Amino acid sequence: MPSCSAKCGRNAILKRPKTSDVLCKECFFEAFENEVHFTITRAKLFTPNTTVAIAASGGKDSTVLAYVLKLLNEKYDYRLKLLLLSIDEGITGYRDDSLDTVKQNRDDYEMSLKILSYKDLYGWTMDEIVAEIGRKNNCTFCGVFRRQALDRGANLLKVDYLATGHNADDIAETVLMNILRGDLARLSRCTSIITDSGDGIPRVKPLKYCYEKEIVMYAYFRKLVYFSTECVFAPNAYRGHARVLLKDLEKIDPTVIMNIIHSGETMKVSETSKMPKLTNCTRCGYVSSQEICKACVLLEGLNKGLPRLGIGKSSKVKRLLKENEEKNKSSGICRGEEDKTCLCSGTDSMKPVKINELVLKELRI
Amino acid sequence: MKITIQFGGGVHLLFGNIKLHEIDLPDREKHWTIGDLLLWMTDNLLQERPELFLQDKSVRPGILVIVNDTDWELLGCADYVIQPKDTIGFISTLHGG
Ligand SMILES: [Zn+2]
Ligand SMILES: [Zn+2]
């Protein structure tokens, strides 16, 4: 067995993907924590005497994030008030285990925990939405609502920062996806370590440069308890393909992860290219490429008893709204796959939905 | 040869939902490598979707293998020769959170 690259005399227990160093357990903990500290201080992520909500799902990334932030906050006296923020989608049975894990985090790390439900944030639970819309299209709601839930929650709690557990593999994957989709607006935003969703509460990613392998190894050797959901095993569209491609490349050469992030960071969109302009939703203020964001369109549909409003492309929805009953032959595809942990991912939901039939049926009141 | 197999990060879902398996590998002339074990597991333990566990005679990228609390990348990966009473863990990194 090789000995630790740090020359501490102990046996190595893992090979670091980022540097190929082989480290013992103690030197690995130190290297991992120091790197997160370095990321935080170099990017000046936090100012002292502020409140940071940690987006907590009970999964590996948010569990490691909560553990390391608590440790660094004490070790380096960041003077941050840390709290856990969890979202309950209101799907019977689904969140029970992961919320139990988050409650365990709360007790282990002595942080307060706020669980906000879709009911708190949107006035509807996913169960109620499924009852309205049926199983086939709930992916759309789930994905769109999920993406905004943490922002809305942070806003509701009036915290100063929202910290998420996005790791290096996640970010490299998002860069790839935005390239595959040609989504230049998101491509230039997705590598930022600090982003603003329109409400003035910065979203920060302290684990941005941490490899997924190291996060899992860190949790394993620190014996942190986390929850793994099954849904990621469901192969879904781009997210799934981009993930598989990335993991295959990483196996050949782990530095591709950092290279892709670096490419994303330094890529500049030419000034002459046509960029979809991102503005803020006129209803809720969330960053959006449309006047009214997707969540607000979906909510409007639910609240007006037209739940299928907003499934499909927004331009088409607008037209449908205006022209009301004009028959057109467009089709929309569930966009739930945009969220890597979409709860209702499944092959059914990927089938194209004929929007003209669905919407027209709903509009005939 | 008696060894212990552990699953983490959701891999147990492919193995009948059981996280810990005490197994007894059949005696034979040739030694057992992890590569051999993977095939044995596929035939004897795996319940569903083998493509989510195996790829090109190794584990699918994104599944970490830990032998007696050591990264298998330090031990020769699939060529590691299994010893009696080894504990071999398979942990998926492919989960959200
Ligand atoms: Zn060491
Ligand atoms: Zn809105």
Of the listed ranges A146-150, A230-234, B70-74, B75-79, the least confidently predicted one is: A230-234
B81: which DSSP letter?
A: B
For the stretch B13-42, pLDDT in tens is 889 989 999 999 999 999 999 999 999 999
B80 → chain A, closest CA residue: A1
Out of B9, B70, B73, whose CB is closest to A216?
B9
CATH number belonging to domain A14-266: 3.40.50.620
- pLDDT at position B72 is 96
A2 → chain B, closest CA residue: B74
CB pairs < 8 Å spanning A and B? 88
- For residues A228 and B19, the answer to whether their CB atoms sit within 8 Å is no
- pLDDT at position A235 is 39
Question: Is A165 known to sit in a ligand binding site?
Answer: yes
Run means of pLDDT, 10 residues per run, chain A, 365 residues: 92 93 97 97 96 92 96 97 90 76 92 91 83 68 79 89 94 90 82 81 94 96 83 46 86 92 84 70 80 86 73 57 39 32 34 34 35
**Residues in B lying within 8 Å of A, measured between beta carbons:** 8-10, 13, 49, 52, 60-62, 64, 66, 69-71, 73-75, 89, 91-97
Question: Is A305 known to sit in a ligand binding site?
Answer: no
Do A233 and B94 lie within an 8 Å CB cutoff?
Answer: yes
* Biggest distance spanned by C-alpha atoms of chain B: 45
Structure tokens at B96: 């959200």
B77: which DSSP letter?
A: G
Q: Give residue limits of the domains in chain A.
A: 14-266, 279-363
Q: What is the mean pLDDT of residues B68-76?
A: 96
d(CA A319, CA A178): 27
Tokens 């006035």 correspond to what residue? A123
Do A61 and B13 lie within an 8 Å CB cutoff?
Answer: no
Do A232 and B66 lie within an 8 Å CB cutoff?
Answer: no
Which of left, alpha, beta for A300 (phi over 0: left; psi -120 to 50: alpha)? Answer: alpha
Choice between B45 and A278, residue whose per-residue pLDDT is larger:
B45
List of chain B residues whose C-beta atoms are within 8 Å of the C-beta of residue A224? none
d(CA A93, CA A83): 25
Q: Give residue limits of the domains in chain B.
A: 2-92
- pLDDT at position A256 is 94
What integer best gives the mean pLDDT of chain B? 92
- For residues A145 and A236, the answer to whether their CB atoms sit within 8 Å is no
* CATH superfamily ID and name for B2-92: Beta-grasp domain (3.10.20.30)
pLDDT at B87 over 70: yes
Distance from CA of B37 to the nearest CA of A (A): 21
Residue B38 CB contacts under 8 Å (≥ 6 apart), including other chains = B54, B57, B58, B59, B78
Report how far ligand 2's centroid is from the alpha carbon of A162 (Å): 19
Tokens 């923020």 correspond to what residue? A85
What are the distances in angstroms from CA A102 to CA A225, B76, B89? 9, 37, 24
pLDDT > 90 in chain B, percent:
73
Tokens 């609240």 correspond to what residue? A303
List of chain A residues whose C-beta atoms are within 8 Å of the C-beta of residue B70? 1, 11-14
- pLDDT at position A63 is 94
Can you tell me whether residue B89 is helix, strand or coil? Answer: strand
- pLDDT at position A78 is 97
Report how far ligand 1's centroid is from the alpha carbon of A234 (Å): 39
Question: Is A170 known to sit in a ligand binding site?
Answer: yes
